[in-house]
């Protein structure tokens, strides 16, 4: 009826987090607001995730910002990636990595929420598998925050070679970004599920008329637009 409404999103961080959130650096609050704007600037979870990583990478002065996922599997894959200018993308070669290579870091993610490794050489003796994994990618410094679902780690948001000057902002950012990422990943799953049931017969599982229409549309598209 011509009235304006305000939509506000809140994340329940638990009472023990209240003090931490209220004391976040102003710069971190500003960046989190910037991430939220990018979440709601599009209806596509994939685009929103890529936009968040690009925003984080640029603001935190990193070489790469990315998301790794795994689900009831001992393998993990790099599903989203942003790279600074001149940095070689690695997503295409990180699609079937063993979770065991970084599993030793899980207790740290559970306990401290965010893991920061300023110098990769520091973990060589204590975590040889993780050291070998990161060194194979030519990573000398790294930070990551967990993505949790029902209390279980299902992936992480990470950055490579963050600028040391951004450390006061980096830690609170990565702790909260995992909540944004989980919400968008759930949205992606829902869209994939709706698309699947929209293209298949519910009784037989065979492709239906909608699938045929989509196939014909894609077949008639110019190769550059596919």
Sheet holding 75-83, edge to edge: 97-98, 75-83, 64-69, 152-160, 142-149, 115-117
What is the model's pLDDT at position 20?
Answer: 47
**Do residues 143 and 41 make contact, with C-beta atoms less than 8 angstroms apart?**
no
Q: Compute the average pLDDT of residues 86-99.
A: 90
pTM for the model: 0.76
**Do residues 75 and 102 make contact, with C-beta atoms less than 8 angstroms apart?**
no
pLDDT digits (tens, 9 = 90+) for 119-134: 888 888 888 888 888 8
What is the model's pLDDT at position 16?
Answer: 46
Q: Is the pLDDT of residue 19 over 60?
A: no
What is the model's pLDDT at position 13?
Answer: 53
Q: Is the pLDDT of residue 159 over 90?
A: yes
pLDDT digits (tens, 9 = 90+) for 195-211: 787 777 777 878 888 77
Q: Compute the average pLDDT of residues 39-60.
A: 91
What is the model's pLDDT at position 220?
Answer: 75
Q: Is the pLDDT of residue 39 over 80?
A: yes
End-to-end, the C-alpha distance of the chain in Å comes to 43
């Amino acid at each position: 009826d011509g009235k304006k409404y305000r939509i506000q999103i809140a994340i329940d961080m638990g009472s023990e987090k209240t003090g931490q959130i209220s004391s976040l650096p102003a710069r971190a609050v500003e960046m989190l607001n910037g991430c939220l704007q990018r979440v709601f600037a599009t209806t596509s979870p994939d685009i929103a995730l890529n936009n968040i990583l690009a925003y984080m990478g640029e603001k935190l002065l990193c070489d790469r910002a990315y998301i790794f996922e795994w689900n009831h599997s001992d393998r993990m894959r790099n599903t989203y990636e942003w790279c600074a200018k001149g940095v070689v993308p690695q997503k295409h070669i990180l699609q079937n990595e063993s979770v065991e290579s970084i599993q030793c870091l899980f207790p740290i993610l559970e306990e401290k929420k965010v893991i920061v490794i300023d110098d990769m050489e520091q973990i060589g003796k204590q975590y040889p598998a993780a050291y070998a994994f990161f060194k194979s990618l030519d990573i000398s410094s790294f930070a990551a925050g967990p993505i949790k679902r029902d209390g279980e780690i299902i992936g992480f948001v990470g950055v490579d070679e963050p600028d040391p000057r951004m450390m006061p902002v980096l830690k609170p950012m990565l702790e909260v970004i995992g909540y944004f990422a989980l919400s968008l990943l759930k949205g992606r799953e829902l869209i994939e599920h709706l698309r699947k049931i929209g293209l298949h017969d519910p009784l037989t599982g065979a492709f239906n008329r909608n699938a045929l229409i989509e196939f014909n549309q894609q077949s008639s598209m110019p190769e550059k637009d596919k």
